[in-house]
Amino acid sequence: MKSEKISKSAHRKDEHLALAKASYQANQANSFDDLRLTRPTLPETVVTPDSIRTTMFGHTLSAPFFINAITGGSNKGQEINAALARVAKKANIALALGSANIVAHEPATLKTFTIARAANPDGMLLINVNPGTPLATIKLLINELRPAALQIHVNAVQELIMPEGDRDFQWLNKMMQIRDAVDLPVIVKEVGFGFDVKSLRLLEQNGFNYVDVAGSGGTDFAWIENFRRPGRDMDYLEGIGIPTVEALLTARQTNLTYFASGGIRNPLDVLKSMVLGASAVGISNRFLQEYNQNGEAGLLKLVTNWQDQLAGLVALFGGNDLADLKKMQFDYRLR
């Protein structure tokens, strides 16, 4: 059998896909379990899909949750991006592609990302890079993909565990240069370790407007990278992240516009995130594993079920629209 030559970066991305599957635990307990919403016994509302309609960066979407950054750069990544884009189109939700930094040193991988634009010509796409991605690459990606926004991922824990990872975590100036050079909203995004108040304030003071808190409680890249690491001797960093609910409560104290992600398991977690003030909610591994198990049709069914159920929950908790969620009462027990 002819074996295809695959670069180190593409191989790493395929390993992430495989290990995300190995590490996935359906309905894993997390910080959302400790957040209780007060439900009115007499909601005086009606269930309607209109209640969850939203606009994001100029796009009208059927739901405030989106498929968050997963992959690209390999053949498998290309197949997944095409399928995710078709699902996003049919369900009218946004899709964030995985990091496209690989395009800077392997230009042929561009097609593993542009396939998503071809599959959904008018849909809302976000692209994802790291603070060191060259500006020329970012501009090429913007021209080819016409994204609504740019995610820059910050992932110090992951980099430290990777033997080949970045050892220079001075990212703020690099991100400011990117932000000032592009004509798009820039979202600074973690990858499952959350944000602390000091870092959020630093972003705010330096003119950033958007963050994706990407807290812990779902995919744990400390586990994934430790598994890939020779000797597997940094397992003590597993679980080091700031839980998503705590990161959201912290973001509430700032003037940033924030997205929720990290360990979103079901429509109730989406609702709770919105109650905590998130403007939209990203899901990665739950959707990836549905695609792995039940294919594109299975994922589309899950997404449309979530839309129906979220509309039900908005009414159940006494809301007529997403704005009403911000007024709901909640109670959080610190563990």
Site residues (vs ligand FNR, CB under 6 A): 16-17, 20, 68-71, 98-99, 128, 151, 153, 189, 191-192, 214, 218-219, 261-264, 283-286, 288
Smallest distance from ligand FNR to CB 157, Å: 12
Residue with Cβ nearer ligand FNR (282 or 319): 282
Residue with Cβ nearer ligand FNR (117 or 190): 190
Smallest distance from ligand FNR to CB 323, Å: 25
Residue with Cβ nearer ligand FNR (20 or 93): 20
CB 159 within 8 A of CB 166: yes
Smallest distance from ligand FNR to CB 168, Å: 19
CA dist 96 → 40, 144, 186 (Å): 35, 15, 13
Flag whether 158 is marked binding: yes
Q: Which of 203, 172, 191 shows the shortest CA–CA distance to 242?
A: 191
Smallest distance from ligand FNR to CB 62, Å: 20
CA separation for the pair 56, 60 (Å, rounded): 7
Contacts of 171 (CB under 8 A, 6+ apart): 131, 154
Residue with Cβ nearer ligand FNR (86 or 189): 189
Flag whether 240 is marked binding: no
CA dist 159 → 238, 239, 305 (Å): 14, 16, 36
Residue with Cβ nearer ligand FNR (51 or 97): 97
> In this chain, which residue has its C-beta nearest to ligand FNR?
218
Flag whether 189 is marked binding: yes
- Bridge partners, 287 (sequence order): none
Half-sphere exposure (Cβ direction) of 310: Cα atoms closer than 13 Å = 31
Where is 298: in which H helix or E strand?
Answer: helix 285-316
Residue ranges for the known binding site for substrate are 12-13, 158
